Structure 1
């Protein structure tokens, strides 16, 4: 099949040849994620996924049962982010509630993130998490990371972000570009 596609078929139409020469595009049939409505939404989800990878508390594809098993013996308020198993949802928040582990979908509509059923919307998934970790109810307290011990670099980055006042202030810190890139790779207090 590979050898056949390398040979140009001159008997077909130009449209047919053009379709065969295009790289394979993912469709809803081969992924559980819905199509993006615009390039901006694609960029937001792509950046969010990159930062989730950097965070250490993103577990990727995981069933609700696996997530709840991991959180079962953790303190109340411990949370993780995982891929949603629902076709039209990207991420799910699983956390240890007082009654036991629970999960809630993180919706993404109109370029904003929110928890299913909540009216609170955020332009960043991490701002959503910071909001719920700093709320008086304290339903979220600490992330459940794959690697339980953070590196000194990660701990320093977290402290710098806490001290300077968050993501917006990172640009005003007088440090070299490499360190600034590291701070921007995960500029949240989580």
Structure 2
């Protein structure tokens, strides 16, 4: 992991693969005076460890912001465009404005500060790792909210990803309002599903 650079925002997104819910992006500016050597890509951490680091980042970072692009925006823009929109929203909400932005992956959002995309950046740049952590924790909480609203789908177990359980529930119940209709399994379920006739 590289050293923390003053004024540099790390940006990452979570939730490109799920069939339902928003894509979530986070932007984080870390304080170089703090010790961030324990940061890692969120996928390499247990849920408990992510929760602890999430609280620390929110309490100690110079600035952080989380933004989303909804399922409807994903359908309108495609998942790449919606991910870039969520990243743009997160960066533009930061105060202070970062001097530069480092983004995990290959795509750069359209923002005023200079942006560099880094494949594997969440394993190299502490601020990107921090962004991946708070984005992941936030999206997992949104999945629990989805479960409370739509308990038939098991969002508390699969977080919206296309697991066998999710596909089975999707086939049984049809898409809910938060399913991404531009995604092939959801389109297929929508075409197959006919709600039972009422009163007959």
- Which TM-score bucket, shorter chain as reference? under 0.3
> Could you say which structure has the larger radius of gyration?
1
Between 1 and 2, higher relative CO (CA 8 Å, sep ≥ 6) is seen in 2
Normalising by the residue count of structure 2, what TM-score does the alignment of the two structures yield? 0.22
Normalising by the residue count of structure 1, what TM-score does the alignment of the two structures yield? 0.23
